[in-house]
Amino acid sequence: MAKHVVATVAEIPPGGRKIVTVRGREIGVFNLGGAFHALINRCPHQGAALCTGAIVSRLEAPVPGEYRLTRPDTMIRCPWHCWEFDIATGQSWCEPDDVKARTYNVSVEPGEALAKGPFTAETVPVSVEQDYVVVEV
């Protein structure tokens, strides 16, 4: 596991995402209400680019006709077969017991700390004045 600088914090505003390539794998980095999450860009069902799908809410109905829109804007819906995954945990809503999308640890680090290392800046130049999104791969 190494830490990789993938974006400035300002690059991924709340509700936004950035798809990065770290050590040969595509990873979607999401900002959900200020908290950053990272998910592999590959659906465990048939391999589609999962992180390019729509960000949706989780809709629940304890009984038919009674709807609850829970967890607004926290699920990613695969652009192929509409399988939905929790962006924070990678858990599948379709098959929660069996299938999971790989997640990665993300942190926000000040440029000052990054300048000291031992981080790998992928393609993002680091300056001490800014904060950065760091993914562990």
Partner 1 sequence: MNVALRDPRIDRPAQAHLGFIDCDVHPYFRTPADFDPFLSQRWREHRQSIGGRPRQGLAKTSLYPRMSPGNGMRGDAWPKNGGPPGSDLGLIREQLLDLFDVRYGLLAPLVGGAAAERNVEFGAAMAVAVNDWQCAAFCDPEPRLKASVQITLEHEESALAEIERRAGDARFAQVNIPPRGLEPLGRHRYRKILAACAANGFPISLHLGGTSGHASTGGGWPSFYHEEHPSYVQSMQTLVISLVCEGVLDEIPDLKVVMVEGGFAWLPSLAWRLDKHWKRLKAEVPGLKRAPSEVIREHFWVTTQPIEEPERPEDMLRIIEWIGPERVMFSTDYPHWDQDDPRYAFKVQLPEEWARLIYRENARALYRLD
Q: Which residues of the shown chain bind partner 1 in the complex (CB under 8 A)?
A: 40, 42, 44-49, 52-54, 78-82, 90, 97-102
Q: Are 47 and 40 in contact (CB under 8 A)?
A: no
* Nearer Cβ to partner 1 (42/124): 42
DSSP 8-state symbol, 50: G
Closest approach of Cβ 5 to partner 1, in Å? 23
For residues 52 and 120, which CB has a smaller minimum distance to partner 1 in the complex? 52
**Tokens describing residue 76:** 């990613």
Q: Which two tokens stand for residue 63?
A: 């009984």
Closer CB to partner 1, residue 86 or residue 114?
Answer: 86
Residue 128: CB atoms within 10 A of its CB come to: 11
Asked whether the beta carbons of 71 and 60 are under 8 A apart, the reply is: no
Q: 27 or 124, CB closer to partner 1?
A: 27
Strand-pair partners of 36: 31
From the CB of 74, what's the least distance to partner 1, in Å? 18
